Structure 1
Amino acid sequence: MTYCVGLLLNEGIVLLSDTRTNAGLDNIATYRKMFLFEDPGERVIGILTAGSLSVTQTALARIREAIDDTEATSETSIMLAPTMLKVAELVGNTLATVRQDIDAKMEASKVSTSASMIVAGQRRGGAMRMFLVYPEGNFIEATEDTPFLQIGEHKYGKPILDRVVRMDMSLEDARKAMLLSMDSTLRSNLSVGMPLDLAVILKDECTATRSRIAKGDPEFSRMSQMWSEALRDGFTKIQI
């Protein structure tokens, strides 16, 4: 399993993912779930993945092939698409096609081929946009009313996002909210694990900064401890 979350804010976009993949308690591995495609100053696209690893890896391989194709067009490459909406359509079509291909091969073994993606970014002159792409290829878009999207094991990290996330919050507060959301998920589900990948896309700059948070990271550990203490303190102060 995995947990990925994206926030669409007035100041930019923040993306966070874990890296754990498991096929049983004795088969746990680390795989990147966050992928960035950049033409600095022109466009930046972030893709987060969850679900069947074979489906997501194959879909991303086809997306990269389309980008590298010498005959690529705005109808085939996410780096040439005229809008972020078109980017979401291309990613959705690729994901749906791959899922159908693999599903046909895996039908007899009844192995799940479900996968989903978060697609976010901006092209020069366009607006920042973020989409959740479903296994069937259709998608929904983040809005002012719901400025965050989640995929994977999302239920443990959703309550804090529901309570604090707003489009006008600062990038630093957004980063804190996302890390606390991830911390709640890490504590409640062993199928989600470190290291974590964090990316920030600043509005109108069309570039991304990326960092990896390793297990035992002192800042993350300190934040996790402070959050636990704050929750226990709040619990004791509530009178019923």
Structure 2
Amino acid sequence: MTYCVGLRLDRGLVFMSDTRTNAGVDNFASARKMFNFSVPGERNITIMTAGNLATTQAMISLLRERTEAVDDRDPSILSQPTMFQVARLVGSTLREVISYSSPNGQESADAFSASVIVGGQIKGGKPTVFLVYPEGNFIEVSEDTPFFQIGETKYGKPILVRAYEPELAFGDALKLLLVSFDSTVKSNLSVGPPFDVLVYTGDSFAPTEIIRIESGDPIYQAISSGWGEALKSALDQLPSYTP
């Protein structure tokens, strides 16, 4: 399984993904699920993937191959004029891979399903994030929906809904995401560290930070244990229910 979040802030964008792809009893496996495409000073695009690993790896390989300077490898993600067009290209590429992988119809297509978060900024536009569905269609973040999740979303969503504020500093946003990810890790064995993080400052057109947070990271461990203790303390302070 997977857990990925793309978050829009007043300052820019934050992306975080786990890396676990298999959680068998004695067969844990990991793979990168975050990918970055950048032309310094002109554009920065981040993609995160969830779903069938063969599908997502094929989609990323196609997108990377088509960035090479060969005419017949267009359309390239690095030549799209807007983030909207980037989302369209990612959607059509995803649909192409699923269709190619599932020649036997819809039931087969479901087995190769995947979803994608794509976000970033192209010069002349604003930083934004899109959620791309397996069918190739997509939606964009808004004031009402300032973040997107893919994969195992239900355990980490409550803290994001309650604590997100658009004016959060990047450090506070990462703290919020780590609580969200830690809640998911403790609830579902199929999600786990290390976590990949990319921070993007608006109008910088290059990644501000690219980080990998390992399971033993002292700040992550402090946030994990501190959040658990804070929840217990808050529960103790609530009134007992006495009907």
TM-score tier (shorter): over 0.9
State how many pairs are aligned.
239
1:42 is matched with which residue? 42
Aligned-pair distance for 1:169?
2.0
| Matched-pair contact (CA < 8 Å) for 1:157–1:181 | yes
Equivalent residue, structure 1, for 2:29: 29
Cα distance, 1:125 vs structure 2 = 2.1
Please say if 1:187 is aligned against 2:186: yes
Structure 1 stretch 170-179 or stretch 99-108: which is displaced more? 99-108
TM-aligned CA distance change 1:110 to 1:145, over 3 Å: closer
CA distance, structure 1, for counterparts of residue 125 and residue 231 of structure 2: 41
Deviations 1:58-83 (A, max 9, x none): 0011101111142178x711111000
AA matched with 1:140: I
Question: Following TM superposition, by how much is the alpha carbon of 1:179 offset from its aligned partner in structure 2, in angstroms?
Answer: 0.8
Q: Structure 1 residues 42, 159: CA separation in 2 closer, same or farther (over 3 Å shift)?
A: same
- CA deviation after TM superposition for structure 1 residue 109, in Å: 7.7
2:98/2:109 contact within 8 Å kept: no
C-alpha distance in 2 between matches for 1:72 and 1:13: 33
Matching residue of 1:162? 161
State the SS of the aligned residue for 2:100: helix
2:118 counterpart of 1:119: yes
Report % sequence identity. Answer: 50
DSSP-derived class of the 1:14 partner: strand
What is the alpha-carbon distance in structure 2 between the residues aligned to residue 23 and residue 97 of structure 1?
A: 29
Query: TM-score scaled by structure 2?
Result: 0.93
| Greater mean alpha carbon deviation, residues 112-121 or residues 25-34 | 25-34
| Residue 97, structure 1, aligned to residue 96, structure 2 | yes
2:136 aligns to what? 137
- Conserved 8 A contact 2:23-2:190: no
Q: Which amino acid aligns with 1:159?
A: P
**Contact 1:147–1:166 under 8 Å retained in 2:** no
Corresponding letter in the other structure for 1:100: S
Query: 1:76-120, CA deviations, whole angstroms, 9 ceiling, x for partnerless residues?
Result: 111110000000000000001101111226989897211000000
Q: Distance in 2 between matches of 1:110 and 1:93?
A: 15
User: What's the offset of the Cα at 1:168?
Assistant: 2.1
Q: Is the 8 A contact 2:37 2:46 kept in 1?
A: yes
Counterparts of 2:72 and 2:204, CA distance in 1:
25
Distance 2:223 2:6 in 1: 20
- Aligned equivalents of 2:15 and 2:213: distance in 1? 13
CA distance in 2, matches of 1:217, 1:59: 31
Deviations 1:27-78 (A, max 9, x none): 43110000011111110000000000000000011101111142178x7111
Please give the TM-score of this superposition, normalised by the length of structure 1: 0.94
Aligned match of 1:213: 213
Q: Which runs of 5+ in 2 are unaligned?
A: none
